[in-house]
Amino acid sequence: MKISIGNDHAGPDYKKAIVEMLQEKGHQVINHGTDSSESVDYPDFGHPVAIDVENKTAHFGVVICGSGNGINMTVNKHQGIRSALCWTKEIAALARQHNDANIISIPARFTSVPQAVEMVETFLNTNFEGGRHANRVNKIACQ
């Protein structure tokens, strides 16, 4: 699988650990994130991830900022993106099962690196259940 990842200054350590895990599992990674802790603007790193997922050059996306909110709002502006702000592996699983989320947003200041890695792993290994959830997901996008 090909995974696109982007992060601001709150997430370089998270990105590094997530990328290592993804590559160990044989995934390809498109890296749009910063490696610096110097202040940057999260939209500059979120939009490229959303575009990768929108254009199907990546199967899924991972975005990281301090609260997870700003970068999540950014990527959700794109049609066809369903990004979920997750802070536990259970929420990550439900985001895939019930919402067919295609990007996971991680709040670096409120989760640990091991939690983030576990959430991404859960997210990628969980399938959308479809059924009654498909009708709801189909109503999300604005036309």
- Annotated catalytic, 142? no
pLDDT band at 116 (very low <50, low <70, confident <90, very high): very high
Q: Give the mean pLDDT of the chain.
A: 97
Identify the pLDDT of residue 93. Answer: 98
Identify the pLDDT of residue 129. Answer: 86
Task: From the candidates 27, 59, 98, 133, give the one annotated as an active-site residue.
Answer: 98
Q: What's the CA dihedral at 74, 78, 82, 88 to 10 degrees?
A: -20
pTM: 0.96
- Annotated catalytic, 65? yes
Burial call 12-46: b when 16+ CB within 10 Å, e when fewer: bebbebbbebbeeeeeebbbbbbeeeeebebbebb
For residue range 117-141, what is the model confidence (pLDDT) as tens digits?
999 999 999 999 888 899 899 988 8
Identify the pLDDT of residue 64. Answer: 98
For residue range 2-41, what is the model confidence (pLDDT) as tens digits?
999 999 999 999 999 999 999 999 999 999 999 999 999 9
Question: Domain 2-137, what fold?
Answer: Ribose 5-phosphate Isomerase B; Chain: A, (3.40.1400)
Kind of pairing between the strands at 103-107 and 28-31: unpaired
Task: From the candidates 9, 47, 65, 86, give the one annotated as an active-site residue.
Answer: 65
